[in-house]
Amino acid sequence: MGDVKGFLKFKRQTCVYRPVDERKQDYREVTVFKDSGCNRDQAARCMDCGTPFCHWACPVSNYIPEWNDLVFNGRWEKALELLTATNNFPEFTGRLCPALCEYSCVLGINDDPVTIRENELAIIENAFKAGFVKPRPPKNRTGRKVAVIGSGPAGLACADQLNRAGHSVTVFEKDKKPGGILRYGIPDFKLDKAVIDRRVKVMEAEGITFTCGVEAGVDVPVDKLQKDFDAICITAGSRVPRDLDVEGRQLKGVHFAMDYLMQSNRRVSGELAPSTLEGEGGGEGQFIDAKGKSVVVIGGGDTGSDCVGTANRQGAKTVTQIELLPRPPECRPKGQQWPKYPMILKTSSSHEEGGERHWSILTKKFEGKDGKLTHMRCVKITFEKDPKGCQVMKEVPGSEFNIEAGLVVLAMGFVYPEKKGLVQDLKLELDQRGNIKASETFQTSVKKVFAAGDARRGQSLIVWAISEGRKAAHSIDKFLTGKSSLPSF
């Protein structure tokens, strides 16, 4: 504990964002990072608790009090060593993780919690700037080959760990560049893609092979994968979106959130030029743009927030975000006391940039003219308990209303991984939710085939994906060699 009175001397000070009028004109990251002096003060607020609940809440079990103390004492390289012992990619989690740890911070019981996520980001960004992050290929190779299918956070973490163990790892990615949802699903204003490229370059220098533009199970048959590799780990994510089965769904102008975000990200990167797309709204190979339109985002989560920020940057006339569930409270609700992660109202940088948010809204139908969306019919709802104590949704009589809409984005989450291709051809057993069924050792129903991340556990957080990838790597290493020196967490 660097300063025993640090939590009394310093108040919580978070990163600030670039001015709204400025950041809406581009896709550069919105965050303005703090200087090292401010990071030191914020790290001093950590109390080095006897029982660090932040560590308990973190899916990758970060040594949070320890590296906060190292930051306070200016020992940045040692802080990096301790941070990366449990987290392969703090530059990703430091930008995207909802910081479960902060909601379990002991200081948060009666004060504002420590800025754990921002301290984590400061450590890794300082490390890259100071040259501490260097390729460290394994000294010895085992002669075993592993195929990792998918290059999202779970796949990257699994590949990184297995490579450290000395196995030869090939990562297959069906898109043109590695990163999965990090690259194509997260807008640049939250995660600049140069951050991904920087990390991939290090991983390549350490001996990992990235094979992009190749869909495993389609471009490379499953029998060849099974023949060429000693183990296969499927980390393809959960990419099948939840749909809205209402009248008018087929109208042009209704799109899934990931189609919208992926196209926008490809346009921003220059990978996709608008001139290559014809038509407007309503299907694959068509141009999805919010410019001059009234945009409605259905879904109140992070993906919906990303769509709000993207629509504002594309010049939408209006942006409205609606959510089926009631408006969350601003403070911890009863039954979600510390150290649990509370379901409270969260306002992102995208929400600050303009638009309206509405809760307890049910979409009844989409309406349009000449096959194009013009507006949507909605109704207000309430949730009441039935005799069994279950929540039942009921429409509020006489509350129906219209919302003008030239573009509707469905951001209601994902249901399970894609089945066509790899999953079907391997005849993998699925669980009740449609995810790839795997044991505690991440082994699927097919010998030497493993699964991790959203493909196994369902749609979840980036930090859980990294945790899954690390654990799967431990099991795969043990499967290949009979033992493993890789951490099992």
Q: Which residue, 293, 321, 328, 324, is CA-closest to 307?
A: 321
Q: Is residue 1 part of a domain?
A: no
Looking at 412, 447, 472, the residue that finishes a domain is 412
Q: Are residues 311 and 403 in the same domain?
A: yes
The three-state secondary structure class of 330 is: coil
The pLDDT tens digits of the residues spanning 364-377 come to 999 999 999 999 99
Residues 339, 49: Cα–Cα separation, whole Å: 14
Q: Is residue 139 part of a domain?
A: no
Quote the mean pLDDT of the chain. Answer: 95
Tell which phi-psi region holds residue 224, choosing left (phi > 0), alpha (psi between -120 and 50) or beta.
alpha
Q: Are residues 318 and 369 in the same domain?
A: yes
Q: Which residue, 293, 338, 284, is CA-closest to 317?
A: 293
The pLDDT tens digits of the residues spanning 84-111 come to 999 999 999 999 999 999 999 999 999 9
Q: Are residues 259 and 206 in the same domain?
A: no
Mean pLDDT (whole number) for 268-281: 66
The residue range of the domain holding 477 is: 145-239+415-481
Q: Is residue 188 part of a domain?
A: yes
Q: Is residue 344 part of a domain?
A: yes
- What is the model's pLDDT at position 274? 60
Mean pLDDT (whole number) for 228-254: 97
Q: Are residues 297 and 318 in the same domain?
A: yes
* CB distance 96 to 191 below 8 Å: yes
Position 285 confidence tier, pLDDT thresholds 50, 70, 90: low
The pLDDT tens digits of the residues spanning 20-55 come to 999 999 999 999 988 888 999 999 999 999 999 999
By percentage, how much of the chain surpasses pLDDT 90? 92
Q: Is residue 487 part of a domain?
A: no
Q: Are residues 376 and 266 in the same domain?
A: yes
- Tell me the CB-side half-sphere exposure of residue 37, using CA atoms within 13 A: 0
| Residues contacting residue 284 through CB under 8 Å, at least 6 positions apart | 259
Q: Quick check: 235 pLDDT over 90? A: yes
The pLDDT tens digits of the residues spanning 156-211 come to 999 999 999 999 999 999 999 999 999 999 999 999 999 999 999 999 999 999 99
| Residues contacting residue 488 through CB under 8 Å, at least 6 positions apart | 471, 474
Q: Quick check: 286 pLDDT over 80? A: no
Q: In degrees to the nearest 10, what's the CA dihedral of 341, 344, 348, 352?
A: -160
- What is the model's pLDDT at position 282? 41
The three-state secondary structure class of 55 is: helix
Q: Is residue 135 part of a domain?
A: no
- What is the model's pLDDT at position 273? 73
The three-state secondary structure class of 366 is: strand
- CATH number of the domain residue 403 falls in: 3.50.50.60
Kindly calculate the radius of gyration of the chain based on its CA atoms and give it in whole angstroms. 23
Q: Are residues 161 and 269 in the same domain?
A: no
The pLDDT tens digits of the residues spanning 408-459 come to 999 999 999 999 999 999 999 999 999 999 999 999 999 999 999 999 999 9
Q: Are residues 121 and 259 in the same domain?
A: no
Residues 77, 450: Cα–Cα separation, whole Å: 35
Residues 244, 262: Cα–Cα separation, whole Å: 20
Residues 166, 142: Cα–Cα separation, whole Å: 5
Position 283 confidence tier, pLDDT thresholds 50, 70, 90: very low
Looking at 68, 103, 130, the residue that finishes a domain is 130
Beta strands in 235-355 (DSSP E): 240-241, 254-256, 294-298, 318-323
- What is the model's pLDDT at position 278? 45
Mean pLDDT (whole number) for 108-131: 97
Residues 351, 236: Cα–Cα separation, whole Å: 30
Q: Are residues 215 and 193 in the same domain?
A: yes
Q: Are residues 223 and 332 in the same domain?
A: no
Q: Are residues 232 and 277 in the same domain?
A: no
- What is the model's pLDDT at position 277? 54
Q: Is residue 446 part of a domain?
A: yes
Residues 188, 204: Cα–Cα separation, whole Å: 23
**The pair of three-digit structure tokens given for residue 259, joined into one six-digit string:** 């189609």
Q: Quick check: 284 pLDDT over 60? A: no
What residue type is assigned to position 477 of the chain? D
Q: Are residues 111 and 46 in the same domain?
A: yes
| Residues contacting residue 183 through CB under 8 Å, at least 6 positions apart | 175, 177, 193, 196, 265
Query: What single-letter DSSP state applies at residue 107?
Result: G
Looking at 130, 155, 190, the residue that finishes a domain is 130
- CATH number of the domain residue 59 falls in: 1.10.1060.10
Mean pLDDT (whole number) for 130-156: 98
Q: Quick check: 269 pLDDT over 60? A: yes
Secondary structure element (H or E) that encloses residue 384, with its range: strand 372-385
Residues 102, 62: Cα–Cα separation, whole Å: 12
Q: Are residues 44 and 104 in the same domain?
A: yes
Position 3 confidence tier, pLDDT thresholds 50, 70, 90: confident
Q: Is residue 138 part of a domain?
A: no
Mean pLDDT (whole number) for 75-80: 98
For CA atoms 162, 167, 168, 172, the dihedral sign is negative
What's the structural domain count of the chain? 3
Q: Quick check: 59 pLDDT over 60? A: yes
| Residues contacting residue 197 through CB under 8 Å, at least 6 positions apart | none
